[in-house]
Amino acid sequence: MQKTIIHIRFNLILMAVETIILILAIIAVIAVYIFLKAAKYLIVNSIVGLILLALGNIIFNLGISYSATVVLICALAGIPGAILIMLLHVFGIAF
């Protein structure tokens, strides 16, 4: 009788732990999905900004180097960021 009660309690505790792990796994999958969805937008935005910056460099012979700062601005701001970088370079303020 005593062993049966201990086994039942152990099984309940084990089931509770498994349920908690399952819930945490579901939350982790949702978080990874949201992160990858945001990363996809950031990658596309970065590529479009860098293409515009490269076209500006080729067409207008600007000579802007592709530093980490330039890539970060293009990644976060996209087309407006590339235009801002080109304007700041043309006016001699930065880059």
pLDDT digits (tens, 9 = 90+) for 56-79: 999 999 999 989 999 889 878 988
- pLDDT of 38 higher than 70: yes
Interval 29-39 mean pLDDT = 91
Domain presence at residue 43: yes
Burial class (CB in 10 A: 0-12, 13-18, 19+), 1: exposed
Domain presence at residue 95: no
Q: Could you list the residue range(s) of the whole structural domain that residue 48 is in?
A: 2-90
Interval 43-53 mean pLDDT = 89
Domain presence at residue 12: yes
Query: Which of 6-10, 58-62, 81-85, 89-93 is the least confident region?
Result: 6-10
**Euclidean distance between CA atoms 68 and 65, whole angstroms:** 9
Domain presence at residue 76: yes
Domain presence at residue 78: yes
pLDDT digits (tens, 9 = 90+) for 1-31: 667 877 888 888 999 999 999 999 999 999 9
Domain tally for the chain? 1
Residue 7: per-residue pLDDT: 80
Domain presence at residue 20: yes
* pTM of model > 0.95: no
Q: What is the largest CA-CA distance in the chain?
A: 88
Quick one: which of 69, 77, 18 has its CA closest to 46? 77
DSSP character at residue 92:
T
